[in-house]
Structure formats: C-alpha cells, structure tokens
Amino acid sequence: MYKEEHITTSDDLCMKATLIDGSLLTGKMAGPKLHIITLTKREGQDYGFYLRVEHGEDGHLIRALEMGGVAELAGLKDGDRIIRVNGTFVDSLEHSQVADLVRKSGMSVTLHVLGEEAYKTAKANGVNLADPHSQSGQSQPTMNGVSAPAAKAKLCYLTKNSSGFGFSLMSAKGTQGIFMTDVVSGGIAHQAGVKLSDRIVEINSENVENLSHDQIVQKVKAAGDKLMLLLVEEDTDKFFKSKGIRPSMVHATVRHLPHKPRIADMTKRADGYGFILKEDPNRAGHYIGEIDKGSPAERAGLKNMDRLVAVNGQEIDNCRHEQVVEKISQQGNKCSLLVLDAETEKMYKLGGVSPLLYWEEMRGSPPSYPAHEAEAIPAPAVPAPADVDHKPKLCRLEKTAAGFGFHLNGILGVNGQYIKEVVKGGAADRAGLEDDDIVVEVNGMNVEMSTHEEIVKLIRKSGDTLVLLVAERTAYEHLKAQGITITPQLLNKEPSADVPAPAYAQDDERKNTESDIERPATPPAQTRSRSSSSSSSSSSSSASDASEDEKL
C-alpha cells in the first residue's frame, strides 16, 4: 500500500514522502546505468553536437558530434539519449523544451545520458526512467571527459523573487536528511545549480543536517530573500559517506556562485603596479585605491575599493598593512592578487565561504590558509631556497594506447599553459613531467604566448613522440624574474638532435580551458567536421518534416 504525505507551508516549500509501510519507495527492478557528463564551454563556443528527434526513434538523440568539440571530448557518442538536463527529467518533454534547458544552462550543463542500445532495452523492458531509483547505478561524474578526482559539495546562492525560490523540500521516514524536490525548470533554484534530490547540509553557513523538516523550513523562511545553500548531490553524498567524510565548505565547489572574486595577474613596470593599498577606518581589511590609468593594475582589472584577500594565494586578512606591502614587494616583478568587490564579499560572507576556494579552483592547487586553520589543511609547499639551481626540464614522451597521460590546463587572463593530472606510470610520468609544470616549448617551438588551442594542435600533430620543455612553477617564476629566457641551453646537456629549432607563436588572447591529452589525437574544434559512429542510417540524414535538429 502506498502512502503519500504532502504538507504545504505558508511559503513555497512543502514536504513530500512516498512510503510503503513506513519505508521510502525505491523500486526493485534493476535498470540501466546512466552516464553523468558535465560539459563546460567558453563564451561564444557551442557544445559541439546536434540535439535531434527523429521519425521512428524514441528519445532526444545526440547527433553530428563535432570532432574535437566539447561533447566529443567528454565522451558523448552518436545516438546517445539525453535523460536529464541539470537534474530535470526530459525524456517526456518536447524537443524545443529540452533544447531551451541546455541553452539556458549557460556555460555549463550536466547531462544524464544512456547509450543507444541501453536506452532501447530499457524502453522495451518498461523501465521507468523518470524514477531516479530505477537505475542500477550511475557512472562517476565527468567534467569535459575527465573523471572527477574527488567528489565535491556545491554552494548555491539564491535570491528570491515573486514566485519564491523555486523548490520544495522532501523528507522520508527511515531516510536521514532533507532533500530538494520540485526544482522548477528555469526557476531561481535551478539557475543557481540546485538539482533534484540534492541533500541540504548548510543554510547560510549553519549546519542543518540534524534538524527536522519543520526546523529547516523555518530556517529558510527566516533567511529572508537570500539563501546560501551547501548541498550534496546523490553520488557525491554516497562518496562522502563511503569515506566517512562530513561535508563542509572546504569540500565545496564555488563554480555555481553568480558573483566571483577576481585574480589580477600583474607585471611591474618601472613606476610600479600603478595602485595604492589603503585601509578604511570604518571597515576591516586592505583595499585597492588610486589606480593609475593604463597601469598594470588597471589592465589586470583591479577596481577602486576592491578588498584584497590574498597575495599569490596567501591569505592576508590577519596581516598588518606593512606586512601586506612587504608580501607584494617580495614577489619580484610579478604578482597575483585575489580581490573581491562589495557585492561578491557580501555573498561570500553570507555563506561563511573563504574566497580562497575560488583561488584553489582557478589555480588548480590548494591555497595557503591562516595558521589557525593549519591543522585542517595541508601545509603549503615551502619555497625553494635561494641557492637552488633553477633549471627547466626537457621531457620526451612516447605515446601509449592511453595517450600521453596528462592534461593541459589554461587559465583566463594568465599567460602560459601548465601540466595537470599526470597519470601515474603513464608516458608523462615516466618522462619526468609533474603537476603544475609550465609548458615553455612544444617540439622546439616556444609556446609561452600561444593560445591553448594552438598548443593542443601542436601536441596532436606530434604523432607518437612529443618533446616538451617545461619548468617547475617556482623555477619558471625565478628565471622570469631574472629576465632569463628559458631554452634547452639552460640544461647541462645539449638539447636532443631530434628537437626542432625554437620558433615563436604569439596570441594576445588567453583561454580558460582544459584539454585531456590522455585521449587519442582528434582534429581540433575548428575543423567543424561531423562524426557519426552509429549504425543508424538516420544519423547522417538531413533534417526533415519527420525530425527536429538543433545545434548546441
């Protein structure tokens, strides 16, 4: 016997629980395994696939994958069916509705997909794909084809409108926790990154895991028009529980937050960086002021009254004015400042969130925290002594069936590309590459001012042998500060005879992107060619009255 409780509050929140003799209904039929893939693109870029509905074919199909595009690199296949978009079940929606959900997702979208055969088998067996419990298991989430190295909670910031926050709350007897349900597609919560079945961990920096449903409803009401929620998705929750980890801010991603800190990377001129550091008698902290027109500070995006949070990843809130000035001076002729404008600071304070989380995600390495937090955070790397002989590394890689075994990362507004996620025992690891090594040359060509796409293209063109001149980050910064050009001649030995003579490629625009160099080489995105691995004859047919076709 089924029993459903529906308790409506005076607000837009409710509690739902479907029970069988007091237990949450879970469904017994083993179902297909969904793949969870998050695609992230840049401004002006598309995801590199067509969403289609076709005569004689059920579901919303992935077609015409762009070789080297975001979707193809993420592992989507021709004929895959999209089951959910950002947690919203779409198999029963109209084609235009699904396309709108993807478009309105912005620069990032999370898709639950099934392969062609798995989808058809599920349909033939009458599996209810709308039931999140009907799937036998879900793959580890991937971001642009890269498996998440560790599950993360997520911070979502909601500003209420006349329709409310756009979600309901669900609890069930025998199941610990309060969960999100009825997430309105395109609503405030959905746009903020909230998904169906997310579990609430914190509300405005207060842990609410042990509170009752009614108490949490009251917390939401008391918060007024603004909410900072710490949430965990289903798979993330399972991961944390399996590791005995209690989710907190240090485990969270800030990528969903609408207001972001800024990283200002500056190179000093003869007259300095072109700003002053000042203190406000009415507010704690260190602030940017009197920015010179055309200065490195202005070009780096610093604004008047930005609050300075960190210098090269080192938090400075507890430092005196003189100490902060000294820290900036110690960086030589280059400096990276993490700053907040007033609106971003207000949002971060509401959730008790450290802006250093943003630095960590952008720079790809943990920030250094104040001493009082040292017991919970790994200690930052100790800088190399001044008498260390800083040298680059010349690494020769021989591609294996798994590729070269590393990722190439780039950061918006920051010169240079660097190595991440070196596969242990892979080609890169054996050649001596390490995480955060900065790429200086590819097969003899200097790439310090090249775009991410240009470097990826050079690597793909290299065939089965790749020669990289790299420098560990500290060595790179030391050599640059000394005005030393980084070439193979800095090594004790002469460069290998098969390394081409250096050449130089320049491009003023830097991209915020990541490429998976483990993958077999594929043509770059600019090729715009289409690939179809499906045996279905409709995969290469043109759109007709019997099909709908939209590029995403």
Whether 506 contacts 405, CB under 8 Å = no
pLDDT at 475: 85
DSSP state of 22: T
Lowest mean pLDDT segment, chosen from 136-140, 153-157, 438-442: 136-140
Kindly tell me if the per-residue pLDDT of 206 is higher than 60. Answer: yes
Nearest to 140 by CA among 61, 33, 300: 33
In the chain, where the domains are located = 35-125, 153-253, 262-344, 393-488
Q: Tokens 């926050």 identify what position?
A: 165
Nearest to 254 by CA among 344, 177, 130, 183: 344
Whether 337 contacts 297, CB under 8 Å = no
DSSP string of 99-113, one letter each residue: HHHHHTTTTEEEEEE
Lowest mean pLDDT segment, chosen from 171-185, 321-335, 353-367, 428-442: 353-367
Q: What are the distances in angstroms from CA 496 to CA 162, 173, 439, 488?
A: 68, 68, 17, 9
262-344 folds as Pdz3 Domain (2.30.42)
Confidence of residue 549 (pLDDT cuts 50, 70, 90): low
Does the domain formed by 153-253 have CATH 2.30.42.10?
yes
Kindly tell me if the per-residue pLDDT of 112 is higher than 80. Answer: yes
Q: Which CATH superfamily is domain 393-488 in?
A: PDZ domain (2.30.42.10)
Amino acid at 115: G
pLDDT at 433: 92
How far apart are alpha carbons 412 and 489 in whole angstroms?
30
Kindly tell me if the per-residue pLDDT of 127 is higher than 60. Answer: yes
| Average pLDDT estimate for 406-419 | 70
pLDDT at 9: 32
Lowest mean pLDDT segment, chosen from 134-148, 226-240, 498-512: 498-512
Say how many C-beta atoms besides its own lie within 10 A of residue 519's C-beta.
18
Q: Is 388 helix (H, G, I), strand (E, B) or coil?
A: coil
Tell me if domain 262-344 and domain 393-488 are identical in fold: yes
Whether 118 contacts 202, CB under 8 Å = no
* Chain mean pLDDT for the chain: 74
Model confidence pLDDT, tens digit, residues 338-347: 999 999 999 9
Model confidence pLDDT, tens digit, residues 357-366: 888 777 654 3
pLDDT at 486: 87
The sign of the CA dihedral 103, 107, 111, 116 is positive
Nearest to 487 by CA among 521, 544, 444: 444
pLDDT at 552: 62
Query: Taking the CA atoms of the chain, what radius of gyration do you get in angstroms?
Result: 26
pLDDT at 80: 93
pLDDT at 504: 33
Confidence of residue 524 (pLDDT cuts 50, 70, 90): very low
| Paired tokens of 219 | 């917390």
pLDDT at 66: 82
How far apart are alpha carbons 187 and 104 in whole angstroms?
11
Lowest mean pLDDT segment, chosen from 94-103, 263-272, 503-512: 503-512
35-125 folds as Pdz3 Domain (2.30.42)
Chain-centroid distance of CA 501 in Å reads: 37
Q: What angle do CA 138, 139, 142 make, to 5 degrees?
A: 130
pLDDT at 496: 42
Model confidence pLDDT, tens digit, residues 65-87: 887 778 887 788 889 999 988 87
Chain-centroid distance of CA 108 in Å reads: 9
Confidence of residue 351 (pLDDT cuts 50, 70, 90): confident
